[in-house]
Amino acid sequence: MLHQRILFFIVALLLSGCSPMDINQYKNFEPKLDIFKYFEGNTRGWGMFQDRSGTLKRQFVVDIKGSVDESGVLILEEDFVWNDGEKTRRVWRISRTSDAHYKGNAEDVIGSAIGVSAGNALHWTYDLNLVVKDKTWKVSFDDWMFLQPDGVLLNRATMKKFGFRLGEVTIAFKKL
């Protein structure tokens, strides 16, 4: 009986470490993040990709031009320059589906990205066709953004394939 209780305690402890973050825990955090206001205009981001062991694999700078069209859709034109010289581009079209809920689409996003915001945080989940060398991988992103008091927006995204963590993308954004 004691062994069963110890085993139960260990399993409960392990599972509690796996519980996902809840966007609502950030509802009272300041400053409030409105992605339409934050990304309208010009923004720059400095980022990196680390593999699952934490090893830095790639770095990049991304310049973003944001505009809101006549139908109220936020268009983000992202131009990436990677430390190996590669240049890539992604254009997001983001719409509000309700007060704190968003839907985002881009050419390499499978279906739609789903976003929810509260307080200073925004949480995105989406699947992406990621081109690596001459192959395309379907990967899943669990993407969190947090607005800081000085206007810096911190972004941390976990990338997975078949449920296994491949690595993390970290970006710091600043309005220009």
Look at residue 121 and give its three-state secondary structure: strand
For residues 59-88, give the mean pLDDT.
98
d(Cα 126, Cα 147) in Å, to the nearest integer? Answer: 21
Residue 11 has pLDDT above 50, yes or no: no
User: For position 131, what pLDDT does the model report?
Assistant: 87
pLDDT in tens, 136-169: 999 999 999 999 999 999 999 999 999 999 999 9
Q: How confident is the model at residue 12 (pLDDT cuts 50, 70, 90)?
A: very low
Q: How confident is the model at residue 8 (pLDDT cuts 50, 70, 90)?
A: very low
Domain definitions of the chain by residue range: 33-175
* Percent of the chain whose predicted confidence (pLDDT) is above 90: 86
Burial class (CB in 10 A: 0-12, 13-18, 19+), 74: buried
- When the pLDDT of each residue in the chain is averaged and rounded to a whole number, the result is 91
d(Cα 147, Cα 43) in Å, to the nearest integer? Answer: 14
Q: Which residues are CB-contacts of 2 (< 8 A; sequence separation ≥ 6)?
A: none
Q: Under CATH, which number does the domain 33-175 receive?
A: 2.40.128.20
User: For position 4, what pLDDT does the model report?
Assistant: 55
User: For position 14, what pLDDT does the model report?
Assistant: 41
- Amino acid at residue number 30: E
For residues 93-99, give the mean pLDDT.
96
Q: Among 124, 114, 176, 117, which Cα is nearest to 151's?
A: 176
